[in-house]
Chain A
């Protein structure tokens, strides 16, 4: 079947934009509810349960509260940027969904409809480009508020996001090396199990690229600025960080932006490492549209619904995982955050790219065909490297107590603060 053209294409794209945008916003609203429920459950509370059945209308009540609240504008604020910042915080997270493949293509009367809003040939680069725009909202909010706390929050946020941007981009290089393409649907189909094809690994990339998936998840979390990495907000130190001075719906926009960002990150992880809309252990959903329009597999509308469900479930589970993580671990210290980004993730990813490149070269040289065997070899290699990371690298070297730098200084430069052992104090 031919791909859609002309008016049908325009109408279909508009419909897709509307449907996905509304779905995303609903999902964002629901995730604020889930967050509060999970927070409650983890702390042995019951979470919101008074507004509506199971407290589901809490979301609507919150929205109403945001809209009805008084808007306060700090004196000396740069009005233009103060207004622009919350929008810039929300927009990149939602715009990222344009290149997200949601489901398998649907055959319609007017041609094959791909379930992706914009199948741009450089989808991958688009993701990297737009993801880094998120920092502007934070920097602008921090600067335009004319407040010291906001300013510090903005500075922290920009430094953090710029650092983790590097690790994030580098952790996607191995994915590119395996797929050999920057189109997002190709990344999904490369993780499926086709009988024949140029680059099908038959395994979701979180297995053959375990380490890079780990780094991507962590730096993605740092990019969203959520709790282990919420240095930009840091309510204990900076009042509210970059959004200290924001109130009413402008704060609500930041709030929604944070959750939209979270969902986007989860969806990106799904696409890059969890097989996108692929349903595991089922070969019926191996549908792929080649560049010349040839369709491999048998697309039907119910398969589209099923795969869309798979995509939603994976994303939702990741979002829930991030919330679970948020209510488990405390915030990093700023030097730990920077150390983790620059001294750990970036060198590790550099070494990893080289190791993976070498492994793939050797596998190709040995004549191993791309497929399960090939992925199996990579999985074993990755398991070994994960073992090294967790049991050797992450043993007293990554995490450092607050005293470690002091002790290093104590003998040399300063020599004044001498750390004492607890027994000496008593």
Chain B
């Protein structure tokens, strides 16, 4: 029946103001006296995060504090939103490293491809989400900042053990 307006006909014969409102008051009273509130006192209490949460990036380092990145250029290639800026360089020993490594966390969609594609397990996503800043420039994380962060790495999904969380 196209074009018809749906009108639900209520059982008016039993409808009532006073009794219905009394019933409603009972329900709200029950909730008012409910001691377990749904509110989470956010800055004081926080959620327990999943180890697979994909949040702010982190760069893994060697023992001496150098970033593990070898500047292969896979992550800027795979990045779907083009948020990674990488300029590779080579030192006197012939080892490649990232001269410039910047991630624009504003543009990032946290897909995690960079972490999956990294051959030396250098760039990781992290279990961390509180990255409010006062300016947009601060959202571009350079290599120094990425190595200094210390939140846990995001655990990758293991295809041989898909249910293990």
Q: Tell me if B17 and A327 are in contact (CB < 8 A).
A: no
A419's nearest neighbour on chain B, judged by CB, is: B7
Check: A6 CB closer than 8 A to any chain B CB.
no
Q: Tell me if A41 and B32 are in contact (CB < 8 A).
A: yes
B16's nearest neighbour on chain A, judged by CB, is: A394
Check: B1 CB closer than 8 A to any chain A CB.
yes
8 Å CB interface, A310-334 against B: 324-325, 327-329
Shortest CB–CB separation between residue A424 and chain B, in angstroms?
A: 7
Shortest CB–CB separation between residue B19 and chain A, in angstroms?
A: 7
Check: B131 CB closer than 8 A to any chain A CB.
no
Which B residues are in CB contact (< 8 Å) with A45? 37-39
Task: Given the known inter-chain contacts A41-B31, A324-B28, A417-B5, please indicate yes or no for A394 contacting B14, CB distance below 8 A.
Answer: no
Q: Residue B29 contacts which of A324, A390, A417 (CB distance < 8 angstroms)?
A: A324
Interface string of B4-44 (1 = CB under 8 A from A): 11111110111111111100110111011110111101000
Q: Residue A400 contacts which of B12, B21, B28, B34 (CB distance < 8 angstroms)?
A: B12
Q: How far, in whole Å, are A404 and B10 apart by their CA atoms in the complex? A: 9
Q: Tell me if B28 and A425 are in contact (CB < 8 A).
A: no
Which B residues are in CB contact (< 8 Å) with A38? 32
Shortest CB–CB separation between residue B7 and chain A, in angstroms?
A: 4
Q: How far, in whole Å, are A389 and B39 apart by their CA atoms in the complex? A: 41
Q: Tell me if B9 and A401 are in contact (CB < 8 A).
A: yes
Q: How far, in whole Å, are A422 and B12 apart by their CA atoms in the complex? A: 15
Q: Tell me if A42 and B21 are in contact (CB < 8 A).
A: no
Q: Tell me if B18 and A420 are in contact (CB < 8 A).
A: no
Which B residues are in CB contact (< 8 Å) with A402? 7
B25's nearest neighbour on chain A, judged by CB, is: A328
Q: Tell me if A328 and B21 are in contact (CB < 8 A).
A: yes
Check: A18 CB closer than 8 A to any chain B CB.
no
8 Å CB interface, B84-100 against A: none
Shortest CB–CB separation between residue B97 and chain A, in angstroms?
A: 47
Which B residues are in CB contact (< 8 Å) with A422? 6, 8-9
| Secondary structure class of chain A's binding surface, majority of residues | loop
Shortest CB–CB separation between residue A345 and chain B, in angstroms?
A: 12
Most buried by A among B1, B13, B16: B16
Q: How far, in whole Å, are A425 and B1 apart by their CA atoms in the complex? A: 7
Check: A132 CB closer than 8 A to any chain B CB.
no
Check: A396 CB closer than 8 A to any chain B CB.
yes
Q: Tell me if A44 and B15 are in contact (CB < 8 A).
A: no
Q: Residue B24 contacts which of A40, A49, A329, A399 (CB distance < 8 angstroms)?
A: A329
Check: A283 CB closer than 8 A to any chain B CB.
no
Q: Tell me if B32 and A396 are in contact (CB < 8 A).
A: no
Interface string of A333-364 (1 = CB under 8 A from B): 00000001000000000000000000000000
Q: Tell me if B18 and A42 are in contact (CB < 8 A).
A: no
B36's nearest neighbour on chain A, judged by CB, is: A44
Q: Residue A394 contacts which of B5, B18, B36 (CB distance < 8 angstroms)?
A: B18
Q: Tell me if B13 and A44 are in contact (CB < 8 A).
A: no
Which B residues are in CB contact (< 8 Å) with A400? 12
Check: A32 CB closer than 8 A to any chain B CB.
no
Q: Residue A390 contacts which of B4, B15, B16 (CB distance < 8 angstroms)?
A: B16
Q: How far, in whole Å, are A396 and B15 apart by their CA atoms in the complex? A: 5
Shortest CB–CB separation between residue B26 and chain A, in angstroms?
A: 9
Q: Residue A420 contacts which of B6, B12, B32, B37 (CB distance < 8 angstroms)?
A: B6
Q: Tell me if B14 and A395 are in contact (CB < 8 A).
A: yes
Which B residues are in CB contact (< 8 Å) with A399? 12, 15-17, 20
Which B residues are in CB contact (< 8 Å) with A398? 16-17
Q: Tell me if A401 and B28 are in contact (CB < 8 A).
A: no
Q: Tell me if B6 and A390 are in contact (CB < 8 A).
A: no
Task: Given the known inter-chain contacts A41-B31, A44-B31, please indicate yes or no for A396 contacting B14, CB distance below 8 A.
Answer: yes
Q: How far, in whole Å, are A287 and B78 apart by their CA atoms in the complex? A: 88
Q: Tell me if A396 and B12 are in contact (CB < 8 A).
A: yes
Q: Tell me if A46 and B39 are in contact (CB < 8 A).
A: yes
Check: A300 CB closer than 8 A to any chain B CB.
no
Which A residues are in CB contact (< 8 Å) with B10? 401, 403
Check: A181 CB closer than 8 A to any chain B CB.
no
Q: How far, in whole Å, are A424 and B14 apart by their CA atoms in the complex? A: 23
Q: How far, in whole Å, are A263 and B53 apart by their CA atoms in the complex? A: 51
Which A residues are in CB contact (< 8 Å) with B38? 44-45
Which A residues are in CB contact (< 8 Å) with B34? 41, 44
Q: Residue B18 contacts which of A43, A44, A390, A404 (CB distance < 8 angstroms)?
A: A390
8 Å CB interface, A354-379 against B: none
8 Å CB interface, A388-426 against B: 389-390, 394-396, 398-404, 406, 417, 419-422, 424-425
B26's nearest neighbour on chain A, judged by CB, is: A328
Which B residues are in CB contact (< 8 Å) with A43? 31
10 contacts between A and B (CB under 8 A): A41-B34, A42-B32, A45-B39, A46-B39, A324-B29, A394-B18, A396-B14, A399-B16, A425-B4, A425-B6
Q: A38-B32, A44-B38 are in contact. List 14 more A-B contacts (CB 8 A).
A: A41-B33, A42-B28, A46-B39, A324-B25, A390-B16, A395-B14, A395-B16, A399-B16, A399-B17, A401-B12, A401-B15, A420-B4, A420-B6, A421-B9
